[in-house]
A and B are shown apart, each in its own frame.
Chain A
């Protein structure tokens, strides 16, 4: 269900700053374009860090533009291009609206802006999962996505040039790819050095013979660009394996458009949604044999993949299911998805599993992320996988220096979008250049792996690397380490410069390529110290639309479809056993978190009530409830004499212990991530609020009077209610929903049974029992009904009537059993007599026959043995149902193994 992290990173250029070499002492005056008045006095006081002094009154934009620069190259000749002012020093027209807004917000408002962005990202559940690199290590936890509120603005004339260069690049690389896995002319004719291709880890020999329908073999292409000091765009990397980031770009846009609504409206950047519609139709067009209504899916390595969010976002933008390898299988040379006991054909797969991991038969045998036989199916053309298996060979940084020659030879054109100066060490002249200028280079492997910065190495290390470049020249590439352009970032200290790069996207469509009119921007704060700089932060990228009413303004709109009536996708299409199981656990964890929070809440209230009145006759209810907490949560017995409130707090926040609320919430989040494409976006808002409530409590030190505890309990409870509201009002009733509900019903029934068993099967004093019953009713959310129905008179038998048998009480056991049966009946493959259904029926019969009055007699030792027996039986029956559901619906494949290859080819030696 959950894969190992293995996927294309949103990899990035290493930061390029070096030792700080001083400050420029005289700042040239910057004039501002129109909007904001020019102050007569330029700041002349410098902070040690090199930023112009910021006074409370000063406009943040002015201060930013007056900065002296933070790079070591502070003279104009070395300073990077400035996105805001270009090479002129004056504010560029596209930035005017944004600059005005920033000045209106003021320096102090920038912090609030970044907070707002953080909050919205959390509500949208936008995350990034760092990859530890160690396959055996437990998966790293996901981290919040980081986004700067300020967009990078690209003028329309610049965009037009950039777009033409991009499309040319995609067209060229497509032809290279087609040749590499086809005729091989480029190598044969000496246009491509053979080492560059044959040695590349993503040149995959089993991919020979794969040819997807349509005009192109390169389907989806991402290009990383930066700007030279002249403002010229330069490519520093291609992503062709399984490009990531388009989903993030859309997530960025959604957040930035909400935090800067006025500027967004005025600037009206070109929309991104149309790109995904183009991609959707492009995907349909590459389906095998002109399949009508082809089934398209996004194949993800799983929720621990580095860019799991991006994959789910892409699936949702394309409107297609997100699947994992366990959902798919090859039969009769075709790809199928397991769905409710049947196999549904799959026509097109958007592959987000790296190619070498995508088929244990013909590629990496140890992979658990792939589909056995997928390569064979691709070669036969029964399924289209994009990007094609083998496309990663184009991510070869050694291709960069060859691009101008290839453009001339293959397209008969001049290369429109140059590369950042790049030198392949396999070529002796280029290698000498790299060796002679090692300090100005970023060293990049031609294959996979990290980049290195010789400028930051010791002399000995540099010498080692020189020797290595000489020893394995064909494996290394040197790329200019010149600084990228700078754009402002919002920080609590005002606007700070950061170095910008853009990841641009194209998709093959019809006979050409279509570019996304926007980008995943990334910015790295230009550090004042040397060192490698921090992590990068994303930026939205606004491509200005030339004319206010151009056709572009219609971007992102889908007009009424005028074709024939569209046949709906069958709902069960996205119901693989893996999805159903995740939905089931989603329901269970949500209910578990809710039920334990309710019990912990009533327990806390009792603890507080009797804290200073230990002699009160009712005080004995506290230990009863505390031991119920232990039994219901299944957590370890606390130490004797442990303070109750800290324990209750721990049971809320301690995610490391099995059975706590925090642990259920993390299970809930994990399940939700695995079925992100099935859930409404609001789910993440709710989960975000839950996380905040838990974090608040975890961070609260010395929680006097338990205020933080009670507020967190209220917060978690209201989030769980919101979640069940979403489930009941906002989700389509498909098999996934029924399994989620089934999980919730079985969990609630088990929790209730355990709670009753822990609180009521031993008689206490009348005072204690009456308080316990009240608390149990409160924890089962049935107090009001009980008071009304039984006129406030507390009896165990009547309480059992309401909590066990009243089919009209949505918190009762009978109700859960009835709903669980209804859920199973509603499944498309329901037979009415399946094992789980029969077991539920038995339980229902049992409930019909029992009379609460017969259960509540205590023996001489105060034990209610009949009740105990009954609740034990019910609990056992519920477990049986859950196991039967698992056995019938959640398919777990047998362990996959490689066939032993006796290798060591026999004797093979001539007898002497």
Chain B
């Protein structure tokens, strides 16, 4: 599993959770640059959860989505965002079609569905 978020604590906690509860490996990365550096290992993941906004004046999660698809990533891509549904980046992410947009906070049930490659029951638009 690939988890891209610019918050160090959330990234580490997410990786702990995936390892402890789902007993799977999670690659936690903090930026688009780290994603590129991860290269093949990122492309081999089954699920990629990408934060949309990675900070001011840096590539966003949408740029990372583009990189993954361009390099043949065949897994599921989910955008995780704390922003409003009307935010321009969130609207852009929703237009991509083959990626889902899930708002923070994501519950354990929704996370389980994502990792088991099911449509999460609790999937909802960002608030």
A binds B: no
Question: Residues of B at under 8 Å CB distance from A?
Answer: none
